[in-house]
Structure 1
Amino acid sequence: MQTSSVQLNDLDTAPVGRIFLRYLIPSMIGMLLMAVNIVADGTMVGNRLGAAALAGVGIAAPVYSIFVAVSLWIGIGAATKYSAAMGAKELMEGRRIFSHALVSIILITIIIGVIAYSARTPLAYLLGANAETLPFVSDYLYVILIFGVILTVENMLSIFIRNDGGPTLAMSALIATSVLNIVLNYLFLFVYDFGVQGAAFATILASALGILIMSLHFFKKTNNLKWRRFTFDRRLFAAIVLIGFPCFLSEVGISVFTISHNIAFERTAGTDGVAAFAILNYVHNVLLMLFLGLGSAVQPLISYYRGAKNNKRIRKTMQLAMGTALGLGIAALLAGQFAAGTLVSLFGDFSPAVRSLAVSGIHLFFLAYLFTGMNFVMMTYYQSTGNVRMATWITASREILIMLLFLAILPPLLGVTGIWLAIPASEFVVFLGVWLVQRKAASPVTT
């Protein structure tokens, strides 16, 4: 196989702590700004259009999550192989992986969009819409399904650019995307009165700007992401799909989480319950973005060091990542306990019933963040080192299987409180399981 003397910046020689911060800070800032985007969307929709519109956008959110899931599935799967190839100094193989991933993500997104668009009204009801929220759900889906390919290409390019030594440019693109999205949301909702479709168009146009900014990477002398003629490789595609599957499952898990909780609250507390959950879900997505930023910093490093067979650097990186995850989790828990009312007020002036449900929900739900970050870091570690089975178990358990089990058991016993506690309980159980596995097997995390 053709090799190259290429070195991805100074990953082989610089202190691990310095490298970790160089990747962590841009990733966290970029994801924090995306989180601000999420809050801005919810704040503007809730204040301008009311609780039903906010609930409608929340119900449609899983479709957006599916597009993100596909981009992570292909993007992380391919980027993991790309960084391993670069760590092994196999430059041409890395370029082949990038080209294959780009074509794959475009084709897959278009196919999904066409199929879902043709059945968007039944899809809206399947997601949990009712007569009050259906118009808002339909308007949002109309835009997202037509232009979803822009979202997936932007996300995939961001992943690859970080893996090609460009975390600062990826952060800059996210900053510009966030600022434009906020500006366009204000214009489309408050000035031009475009409604929910305006909020969706703001997201699409901002993502298009992100693609333009990230394209600057391809003009850099240090760029290794060059196009190679595309020829479908079944084995490569299968490897990408296998490695990236836990990330896809993670985003699917977010959709399962959203749909199942929307249905549970609709049955238990009606539209007020769905609106309260929509508020919580916006805040939850903010914190998930921070943990995703941590994972985005860890993945290129672990993948590269694995390709370079440098276990010492893997061990040090994981120690830093786990400490950071725990610190973020404690900070999030404290914020939820002491600032729940303020967080709810950001999204509008709601009825006492909605406000009470949302505040109590934040108090209970935020217990999960003590474990969420560490679970996510461990999933990223297993995925980046080729243990896809363990990564898949973590993801499927915490966001689908165990979560649904608790969602079936706790509400009949505790009512609405049981719905809020389903995720904290599942995160704790998964964390305990991972800890037991780590005790039994020597790994870079514990040795």
Structure 2
Amino acid sequence: MTETKQDANAYLASEPIGRLLLKFSVPCVLSMLVSALYNIVDQIFIGQSVGYLGNAATNVVYPFTVAALALALLVGDGSAAKLSLSLGSGDKETSHKCIGNGILATVIIGLLLTVTGFLFMDQILRLFGVTEASYPYAREYMEVILLGIPFYIIASGMNAAIRADGSPAYSMFSTVIGAVLNLILDPVAIFVFHMGVRGAAIATVIGQVVSCFVTILYFRKPKSFRFSKASFLPDGRLLRQIGQLGISSFITQIAIVIVMSVSNNMIGLKGPQSIYGADIPLSVVGIVMKVFGIVIAFSVGIAVSGQPIAGYNYGAGNFKRVFDTYRHIIAANAVIGIIATLLFEFCPQVIVSLFGSESGLYNEYANMCFRIFLGGILFCCVQKASSIFLQSIGKPVKATVLSLSRDVVFLVPGVILLSMAFGVTGMLWAAPIADVLSLILTIILVSHEYKCLKRMEVRTHE
């Protein structure tokens, strides 16, 4: 039985990498894209009905949902990476335990986060920069969103484990079905039943519940392992390893929370001193960050789809194949980054118009925000993908350093300093500066890892 399970994943060491990456990346990217669209669909319909104050409100709640996603990926991506490494090295005992412990952890985290959200709702909204005008909408939206957090965390977290188990199509289905429901129910709740931001939140939660149910159904009969009672017994050592492997994904998401929190608060401080006020930049930055999330969904989706390939071959000692996988990932990310750059620089108004027709000042700031803030998106794609790659081959320290660099080390201080000096327009330049600096660090860390893998490859052939 063990031999059969081992052979079930052996194709990761033999099939052409391009074909494997395409097989895994299409459903994986679609899953990540659909996850990113959950919030942006709300923004589009709310913008068309409630207006920019409604969008400003969802922008304030958005960092909390991203924090939930960060915790989900800490466990989920860590469990998936551990599963791939375990399968590659033939460690069957660890494979079922890491997924069982992952499921248990996501359930506990989801419940704790929901309780925390209800207990400290006003404090959380203030932390993320709510204004007096947007507060009623923000509270109404968050009250409903909190009910779906446990389902959202379980579905988002264990989605990666399904991909690592060799079922990327099912992984995609479990995410897409919830998003399609959200897309259908959003306009019904908002325009037919006139429920405003509360209706958008209800549609989102229904989609999350369905995605969670479909995700859990998969684990009745996974491909590469079988659960036992021991699978769900908490294992402190294993949970630490899962956390170490998932920390890069966690930081990638939590950094968005930090950036948005800092940006929203600086907008609240400096916005009233500008011609744009505070609510226009608050709404626009939220929209831009969510569009940014769509591009990163492509970037990270491709990188995560390479995780089973890189992790399995690293565990099996096929080091040349590991870096061949990385080269394919970066080539795909370069194409994504170039397309996104052209779109944001030459036709930002097309994107802005999707979120409602607003004043000239609103459109002016929105166009400027897309062109400047997302000007270094190509470099950002390369950095994000490289961080996921380092995580997938069991290099949590380097992956963590790289994840922290762009958003926390470079971007946050840049937002604070430039907004203090040049207001809500100057702060936009913090992003492309951070993208350039983090690219330089990416080249240094990945080059060092490449040399290490080359030495390991030479030793295996001696």
- Shorter-normalised TM-score: what interval? over 0.9
The aligned counterpart of 1:145 is 146
**Which residue of structure 1 lines up, in the alignment, with residue 225 of structure 2?**
224
Deviation at 1:315, TM superposition (A): 1.1
> Is 1:362 equivalent to 2:364 in the alignment?
no
Matched, 1:350 2:350: no
Asked whether the 8 Å contact 2:152–2:212 carries over to 1, the reply is: no
Give deviations 1:127-152, integer Å, cap 9, x for gaps: 11121111111122212223311001
CA-CA distance at 1:273 after TM superposition? 1.4
Deviations 1:43-98 (A, max 9, x none): 10111111111100001101101110111001111111111111122223201111
Shift of 1:225: 5.4
Q: How much is the aligned-residue C-alpha RMSD, in angstroms?
A: 2.2
SS state of the match for residue 406, structure 1?
Answer: helix
1:12 and 2:38 correspond:
no
Judged with a 3 Å threshold, the aligned counterparts in structure 2 of structure 1 residues 9 and 47 are, in CA distance, closer, same or farther, namely: farther
Once residues 134 and 220 of structure 1 are traced to their aligned partners in structure 2, the CA distance between those partners, rounded to angstroms, is 46
> How many angstroms does 1:42 deviate by?
1.0
Decide whether aligned partners of structure 1 residues 234 and 2 sit closer, same or farther in structure 2, where only a CA change above 3 A counts: farther
> Of 344, 347, 350, which aligns to 1:336?
344
Identity %: 23
Q: Show the counterpart of 1:257.
A: 259
1:397 is the counterpart of 2:398: no
Cα distance change of structure 1 residues 225 and 76 upon mapping to structure 2, 3 Å threshold? farther
Per the alignment, residue 424 of structure 1 pairs with: 432
Find the aligned partners of 1:162 and 1:249 in 2 and give their Cα distance.
21
Matched residues in 1 for 2:239 and 2:106: separation? 11
Structure-2 change in CA distance of 1:330 and 1:5 (3 Å): closer
Q: Give the structure 2 partner of residue 237 of structure 1.
A: 239
Q: Deviations over 1:179-220 (max 9, x none)?
A: 111111111111112222221221221122223333453455
Q: Which position in structure 2 is the counterpart of 1:407?
A: 415
Q: Which amino acid aligns with 2:344?
A: G
Whole-Å separation in 1 of the counterparts to 2:320 and 2:313: 9
Q: Distance in 2 between matches of 1:227 and 1:418?
A: 56
- Counterpart amino acid of 1:428? V
Counterpart secondary structure, 1:11:
helix
Task: Please tell me whether the aligned partners of residues 28 and 172 of structure 2 are also in contact (alpha carbons under 8 angstroms).
Answer: yes
Comparing 207-216 with 95-104, greater Cα deviation is found at: 207-216
Matched to 1:417, the amino acid is: T
The correspondence of residues 137-216 of structure 1 with structure 2, limited to 5 A, is: 137-216=138-217
Whether the 8 Å CA contact 1:366–1:424 is kept in 2: the answer is yes
Report the alpha carbon displacement of residue 413 of structure 1 after superposing the two structures with TM. Answer: 4.1
SS in 1 for 2:6: coil
- Verify the 8 A CA contact 2:178 2:210 in the aligned structure 1: yes
Aligned counterparts of 1:183 and 1:158: Cα–Cα separation in 2: 23
Note if 1:299 corresponds to 2:307. Answer: yes
Amino acid at match of 1:312: K
**2:269 aligned residue (261, 267, 270):** 267
1:350-391 C-alpha deviation (Å, 9 max, x unpaired): 111111100111011221211111101111121122221111
Are the equivalent residues in 2 in contact too, given 1:266–1:273 (CA < 8 A)? no
Question: Residues 374 and 444 (structure 1 numbering): CA distance in 2 closer, same or farther, change over 3 Å?
Answer: farther
**TM superposition score normalised by structure 2:** 0.91
Give yes or no for contact 1:95–1:228 (8 Å, CA) kept in 2.
no
Q: Give the aligned residue type for 1:311.
A: F
C-alpha separation in 1, matches of 2:10 and 2:393: 21
Q: How many residues in Structure 1 have an aligned counterpart in Structure 2?
A: 447
**Residue of structure 2 in register with 1:128 after alignment:** 129
Secondary structure of the residue aligned to 2:129 is: coil
Q: In the aligned structure 1, how far is the partner of 2:220 from the partner of 2:236?
A: 30
| Structure 1 residues 110 and 205, CA gap change in structure 2 (3 angstroms) | same
Q: Residues 101 and 234 of structure 2 are in contact (CA less than 8 Å); yes or no, is this contact kept in structure 1?
A: yes
For the residues of structure 1 that align with 2:69 and 2:437, how far apart are their CA atoms?
26
Aligned-partner residue type, residue 313 of structure 2:
Y
2:112 aligned residue: 111
Contact 1:365-1:424 within 8 A present in 2 as well: yes
C-alpha displacement at 1:6, in angstroms?
A: 4.2
Q: Secondary structure at the match of 1:367?
A: coil
In the alignment, what sits opposite 1:278?
Answer: 286
Contact 1:38 1:286 in 2 (8 A): no
Determine the C-alpha separation between the residues in 2 that align with 1:168 and 1:262. 38
Structure 2 counterpart SS, 1:10: helix
Cα gap change, 1:115 to 1:214, in 2 (>3 Å): closer
Residue by residue, what CA displacement relative to the aligned partner does 1:304-330 show, whole Å, maximum 9, x if unpaired?
222222112111110000111111111
Rounded Cα–Cα distance in structure 2 between residues aligned with 1:441 and 1:314: 11
1:408-429 deviation per Cα after TM superposition (whole angstroms, max 9, x unaligned): 2323444333211212211210
Q: Aligned partner of 2:149: which letter?
A: G
* Structure-2 change in CA distance of 1:221 and 1:114 (3 Å): closer
Given the superposition, is the C-alpha separation of residues 238 and 34 from structure 1 closer, same or farther in structure 2, using an over 3 Å criterion? closer
C-alpha change, 1:216 and 1:122, in structure 2 (3 Å) is: closer
In the alignment, the residues of structure 1 paired with residue 437 and residue 326 of structure 2 have an alpha-carbon distance, to the nearest angstrom, of 21
**Whole-Å separation in 1 of the counterparts to 2:252 and 2:386:** 13
With normalisation by structure 1, the TM-score equals: 0.94
Shift of 1:22: 0.6
- Tell me the amino acid that sits aligned with residue 202 of structure 1: A
Are 2:312 and 1:287 equivalent residues in the alignment?
A: no
CA–CA separation in structure 1 for the residues paired with 2:452 and 2:351: 38
1:310–1:119: structure 2 CA closer, same or farther, 3 Å change rule? same
**1:214 maps to amino acid:** T
* Matching residue's letter, 2:391: Q
